[in-house]
Structure 1
């Protein structure tokens, strides 16, 4: 269903007596059971039926209280799993989308006049893989061969230097620190010549970034803590005065918070770039905190073209988030990312998983730039992302204000949600097979959103929806193709994935 007219809705804050909450949950069980039987009967009779329609109809009749949401989510997605096999997106459908670490080096990093690093357009990668032997050019290049040499090199590096890691395995057991800033015209770069050449194995160490204008690229970083090689806490911890840091084209796995960004001593590491990285974990992690990209308080970060997957907790029932910005920052951009909460479409793991979130987490006032945390994020933009297989909402806007959520494709999740105050967002031109809803006093402005399902992704539409005006803040699509004046809803301007703009590895 296409929303052809704009809608603005403010949801009141309400509460229910305990007995009514239990009644609501009972109704949910009954409705989902009826949906299960209905779909089964239709299937046996040879009638075409979409399992998610039955689930949606059941969910729409229930105003589930918050305390039962997690249980309700698990129940409804169990029905998805058993009845909706035709809705599971094959894993190979995502391999051609060109997100995450590339098999070749990226073009030279460009900076704006204000010193902020600019993201590399995906269309600029076409043909770039043919020059993957790109030579490192800088005022001074130092080649290092082990963890000790790497630590000494980062301490001595000056603006314009490049630290080139020779192929091999590097073990870090302590912090990797710096003493000097780079400059926009002379950043300090830490890199491998080619992706896959270098593996940094962190065994209690981390890259503790405290200085501005550094670049890290082409690295494989693995957490290997404890006697059994358990996940470590952070691969990168970007803090304080580390403005305009670039982390790009890396493979990072086996951490509870692969990338952690926060303030220190009253300063915040604003204006960073996180692009073309792959974040994942091989198995469920026994941790109360699991957020691959966790930003607190910093402003104007660009998070683009990454692949984030399989952030699953082994024991905790607290939510985990794929890409997360909170803590009173402003102007964050989350764009053209592929977020897969669970690999292979299995949403049955315990715990709650949210794909992308602005706000949430109830940040303490001392961690926010204003010292008050009047909002969790302001003016954030979530656009052109593909989010799949989350047993909670694909996109969450929680105490985030003036947000724009536009042209995302959100499938096999519980849709797009706004909650708490202050929380307001424009939700425009998205494709979702779950609900789009506002709760707990939040305000939502809806326009041109479309209910779709996974069978239409990414090869094309069975029945294409009407084209819609392109949002003024969305000039391209998930693949980096320019959008004309009118476009399809969702992350893709046209059908067929990104094969026409993404180079083969």
Structure 2
């Protein structure tokens, strides 16, 4: 055995001893990938996270843990991420209360799994770059989280992400966040995916299910369900103070955003393009929005910013009612609606099918659209918006099977 290998083996017991000094002995074990720490109360949790190293897995026993947790520079590696998870996924632990249930500042290669975060006065989960705009928080995985009952009547978010790059949010549920906040709010985030998530019980007028602004780019939202998820189910873009852009203002609120294979129920508008420089919304099912199907807006009026432009709205299945939707597309000032493309969408006015074509007034000519034919959902009352075997719809609406993403 060479000296280097011998030295590495010699150091292992010392590392374990150091860890045992701060965590109860019965809760620590070595694994092939690193150290596994089992915690059962607030003090053990705080100690375990504060002393986590690359490869550490911290498993929370069922029960409730005090919120207000904040950790700086929790950093794993690509091969050895730091994992904070439920010891038993069938009995997820609850992190409750505090201004924020859990705040990670400048983390890297961290995974959160099978946790419930609830009852925070501010945001439920906050992950950010600590204000270092050139050094984003990075490589974060959020899986099977439930974030609920967050904030009150203000701008409080279920999950708040600022300056985060290379992330995955999968199979999470966010419900009942602040009236003017978002289920997930992203500021200056890039190269991320939100998939298989559910957003419900937002405000009827204000707030959003998912918002991507402040220079956010290269983000895909797919296979999610938005059930009355705020005034705008998805806000692509927004209005951000220049000092909050990451890394620096580049003339747009959001760019290269994809929304696909999602189901939208209710909300004043399913989709809003706000200060966008390129986004594709395709293969989604939109059921009974309460005022508009989509909006094209410009809320950041800096002269250096492009007008909201280059949106594509294709292969979507939209069911609306004439007594709810006055205009399909709401177009604000200082936008470029003439740059938007509409193609191959399936439109159905539920209460006046014969008027569907008349109601669907778009800023540019649609190619390949279908108007006025019942798509034949399986069970709307039961919340099943998949299509019956005999449905006439072809290549529109949310797809059930995996399909290549743009």
For residues 307 and 430 of structure 1, do their structure 2 counterparts lie closer, same or farther at Cα, with a shift above 3 Å needed? same
Question: Is the aligned partner of 1:249 residue 2:144?
Answer: yes
TM-aligned CA deviation for residue 145 of structure 1:
0.9
Q: Which residue of 2 aligns with 1:481?
A: 402
Q: Aligned to 2:160, which of 242, 260, 280?
A: 260
For residues 160 and 401 of structure 1, do their structure 2 counterparts lie closer, same or farther at Cα, with a shift above 3 Å needed? same
Q: Which residue of 2 aligns with 1:273?
A: 168
Q: Which has the higher strand share?
A: 2
Q: Aligned to 1:428, which of 314, 322, 325?
A: 314
Question: Is the aligned partner of 1:218 residue 2:134?
Answer: no
Question: Is the aligned partner of 1:394 residue 2:276?
Answer: no
Matched ranges for 1:333-352 at <5 A: 333-341=220-228
Q: Which residue of 1 aligns with 2:34?
A: 139
**Residue ranges of structure 1 left out of the alignment (5+ in a row):** 1-135, 224-230, 263-267, 343-351, 484-505
Q: Per-residue CA shift, 1:50-92, capped at 9, x if unaligned? A: xxxxxxxxxxxxxxxxxxxxxxxxxxxxxxxxxxxxxxxxxxx
TM-aligned CA deviation for residue 357 of structure 1:
1.4
Q: Which residue of 2 aligns with 1:159?
A: 54
For residues 242 and 372 of structure 1, do their structure 2 counterparts lie closer, same or farther at Cα, with a shift above 3 Å needed? closer
Q: Aligned to 1:416, which of 271, 294, 299?
A: 294
For residues 176 and 146 of structure 1, do their structure 2 counterparts lie closer, same or farther at Cα, with a shift above 3 Å needed? farther
TM-aligned CA deviation for residue 191 of structure 1:
0.3
SS of alignment partner, residue 181 of structure 1:
coil
TM-aligned CA deviation for residue 147 of structure 1:
1.6
TM-aligned CA deviation for residue 480 of structure 1:
3.8
Alpha-carbon distance between aligned partners in 2 of 1:482 and 1:373, rounded to the nearest angstrom: 32
**Residue ranges of structure 2 left out of the alignment (5+ in a row):** 1-30, 130-135, 151-155, 299-306, 321-326, 351-374
Q: Which residue of 1 aligns with 2:194?
A: 303
Q: Which residue of 2 aligns with 1:326?
A: 213
Mapped contact 2:293–2:328 kept (Cα < 8 A)? yes
For residues 200 and 180 of structure 1, do their structure 2 counterparts lie closer, same or farther at Cα, with a shift above 3 Å needed? closer
SS of alignment partner, residue 313 of structure 2:
strand
TM-aligned CA deviation for residue 207 of structure 1:
1.6
Q: Which residue of 2 aligns with 1:365?
A: 242
Mapped contact 2:346–2:393 kept (Cα < 8 A)? no
The higher relative CO (CA closer than 8 Å, separation ≥ 6) is in 1
Alpha-carbon distance between aligned partners in 1 of 2:97 and 2:164, rounded to the nearest angstrom: 23
Q: Aligned to 2:180, which of 255, 266, 289?
A: 289
Q: Per-residue CA shift, 1:6-28, capped at 9, x if unaligned? A: xxxxxxxxxxxxxxxxxxxxxxx
Mapped contact 1:438–1:444 kept (Cα < 8 A)? no
Q: Per-residue CA shift, 1:255-282, capped at 9, x if unaligned? A: 13110011xxxxx22111111011112x
Alpha-carbon distance between aligned partners in 1 of 2:41 and 2:72, rounded to the nearest angstrom: 17
Q: Which has the higher helix share?
A: 1
Mapped contact 1:218–1:248 kept (Cα < 8 A)? yes
Q: Aligned to 1:186, which of 59, 75, 80?
A: 80
Alpha-carbon distance between aligned partners in 2 of 1:289 and 1:437, rounded to the nearest angstrom: 22
Alpha-carbon distance between aligned partners in 1 of 2:314 and 2:32, rounded to the nearest angstrom: 44
TM-aligned CA deviation for residue 297 of structure 1:
0.8
Alpha-carbon distance between aligned partners in 2 of 1:389 and 1:379, rounded to the nearest angstrom: 25
Alpha-carbon distance between aligned partners in 2 of 1:221 and 1:213, rounded to the nearest angstrom: 20
TM-score of the two chains, using structure 1 as the length reference: 0.57
Superposed CA RMSD: 2.6
For residues 288 and 384 of structure 1, do their structure 2 counterparts lie closer, same or farther at Cα, with a shift above 3 Å needed? closer
Alpha-carbon distance between aligned partners in 2 of 1:337 and 1:429, rounded to the nearest angstrom: 17
Alpha-carbon distance between aligned partners in 1 of 2:95 and 2:275, rounded to the nearest angstrom: 37
For residues 330 and 438 of structure 1, do their structure 2 counterparts lie closer, same or farther at Cα, with a shift above 3 Å needed? same
Mapped contact 1:196–1:219 kept (Cα < 8 A)? no
Alpha-carbon distance between aligned partners in 1 of 2:401 and 2:387, rounded to the nearest angstrom: 18
Q: Which residue of 2 aligns with 1:486?
A: none
Alpha-carbon distance between aligned partners in 2 of 1:165 and 1:459, rounded to the nearest angstrom: 37
Alpha-carbon distance between aligned partners in 2 of 1:430 and 1:380, rounded to the nearest angstrom: 16
Alpha-carbon distance between aligned partners in 1 of 2:297 and 2:388, rounded to the nearest angstrom: 31
Q: Which residue of 1 aligns with 2:252?
A: 375
TM-aligned CA deviation for residue 367 of structure 1:
1.1
TM-score of the two chains, using structure 2 as the length reference: 0.71
